[in-house]
């Protein structure tokens, strides 16, 4: 460990999980957990800026979350709508650049417009890049990329032999965004749930027991601290002896 190096992950991606359990533990409706989850998100964006993180991705609604009861889906949509309406001006004033990943299928036109406007308004900001994974699923994202490439091959613009990892990455929603260094999942669950499967190939995974509505600066700092203890090898040898032999 080199304690002098700050070793701050450039890109942190968070699976914000545990809202329902947080509420149930308190005898509250699940919606209350989601509502408090938005507060945790606001705290986390500020904490990420202060920690010097350059890219923060949050998993807000997965392509599998459509399996939830309709009233809960409506609540989650409403929370996103209100979050953008309420926080966009503040985020823009703080120089945050917003990117949205995921598909538009199934989303109401007003939500699509809000997300588009947020991206356009903040496109040239140079502070934290805040990536919202909404109606996102990694498998669908990869299938869409494969379809794009297949089309280019069919049109004779691309040869299969020229398909590289870079070219494929460039067809994903995350094009231009570096892979996450750290993926954090809250609530103690230890799975990726169809989140950034390609991009997280070499991410460090940290599983925090904290339920998302309780997540705060301390929890983020703890996750970064755990990240700093890791020896990222990318298939090489341990860094202490690497490159010697």
Catalytic residues: 17, 65
Segment 17 to 46, residues that bind ligand IPE, using CB under 6 A: 17-21
Contacted by 215, from Mg ion, ligand IPE, none: CB < 5 to 8 Å by type: none
Applying the rule CB under 6 A, the residues between 200 and 229 that interact with ligand IPE are 212
Instruction: Kindly tell me which of 131 and 211 has the beta carbon lying closer to Mg ion.
Output: 211
- Contacted entry of ligand IPE, Mg ion, none for residue 203, CB cut-off 5 to 8 Å set by kind: none
CA atoms within 13 A on the CB side of 158: 15
Rounded to the nearest 5°, which phi and psi values hold at 97?
-100, 125
SS3 sequence of the chain: CCCCCCCCCCEEEEECCCHHHHHHHCCCCHHHHHHHHHHHHHHHHHHHHHHCCCEEEEEEEECCHHHCCHHHHHHHHHHHHHHHHHHHHHHHHCCCEEEEECCCCCCCHHHHHHHHHHHHHHCCCCCCEEEEEEEECHHHHHHHHHHHHHHHHHCCCCCHHHCCHHHHHCCCCCCCCCCCCEEEECCCCCCCCCCCCCCCCCCEEEECCCCHHHCCHHHHHHHHHHHHHCCCCCCCCCCCCCCCC
Residue 21 binds which of Mg ion, ligand IPE, none (CB < 5-8 A, kind-dependent):
ligand IPE
For Mg ion, the closer CB: 17 or 32:
17
Considering the rule CB under 6 A, would residue 57 count as an interface residue with ligand IPE? no
| In the complex, least distance from residue 151 CB atom to Mg ion, rounded to whole angstroms | 36
Least distance from Mg ion to the Cβ atom of residue 17, Å: 4
- In the bound state with ligand IPE, the residue whose beta carbon lies nearer, of 149 and 180, is 180
**Beta carbons of 179 and 202 less than 8 angstroms apart:** yes
- The residue range among 14-22, 110-118, 137-145, 150-158 that interacts with ligand IPE, by the rule CB under 6 A, is 14-22
Q: Which does 16 bind (CB under 5 to 8 A by kind): Mg ion, ligand IPE, none?
A: ligand IPE
The window from 55-63, 88-96, 105-113, 147-155 that contacts ligand IPE (CB under 6 A) reads 55-63
Select the residue interacting with ligand IPE from 76, 114, 149, 196 (CB under 6 A): 76
Instruction: Select the binding partner of residue 171 from ligand IPE, Mg ion, none (C-beta < 5 to 8 A, by kind).
Output: none
The stretch among 11-19, 118-126, 168-176, 229-237 that binds ligand IPE (CB under 6 A) is 11-19
Q: Which two tokens stand for residue 112?
A: 């699509």
Q: Nearest Cα to 8, choosing from 221, 163, 235?
A: 221
Binding flag, residue 65, ligand IPE (CB under 6 A): yes
Residues that bind ligand IPE (CB under 6 A): 15-21, 59-62, 65, 76, 187, 189, 191, 193, 212
């Amino acid at each position: 460990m080199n304690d002098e190096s700050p070793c701050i992950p450039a890109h942190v991606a968070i699976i914000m999980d545990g809202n329902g359990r947080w509420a149930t533990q308190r005898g509250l409706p699940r919606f209350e957990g989601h509502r408090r989850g938005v507060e945790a998100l606001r705290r986390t964006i500020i904490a990420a800026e202060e920690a010097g993180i350059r890219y923060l991705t949050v998993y807000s609604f997965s392509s599998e979350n459509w399996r939830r009861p309709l009233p809960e889906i409506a609540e989650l949509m409403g929370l996103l709508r209100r979050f953008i309406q309420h926080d966009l001006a503040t985020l823009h004033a703080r120089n945050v650049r917003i990117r949205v990943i995921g598909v538009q299928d199934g989303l109401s036109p007003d939500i699509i417009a809000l997300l588009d406007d947020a991206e356009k308004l903040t496109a040239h900001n140079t502070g934290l890049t805040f990536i919202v994974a909404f109606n996102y699923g990694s498998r669908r994202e990869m299938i869409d990329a494969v379809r794009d490439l297949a089309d280019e091959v069919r049109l004779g613009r691309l040869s299969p032999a020229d398909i590289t990892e870079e070219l494929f990455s460039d067809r994903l929603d995350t094009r231009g965004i570096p892979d996450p260094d750290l993926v954090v999942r809250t609530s103690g669950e230890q799975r990726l749930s169809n989140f950034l499967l390609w991009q997280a190939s070499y991410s460090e995974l940290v599983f925090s027991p904290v339920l998302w509505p309780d997540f705060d600066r301390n929890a983020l700092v703890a996750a970064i601290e755990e990240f700093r203890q890791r020896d990222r090898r990318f298939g090489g040898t341990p860094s202490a002896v690497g490159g010697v032999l």
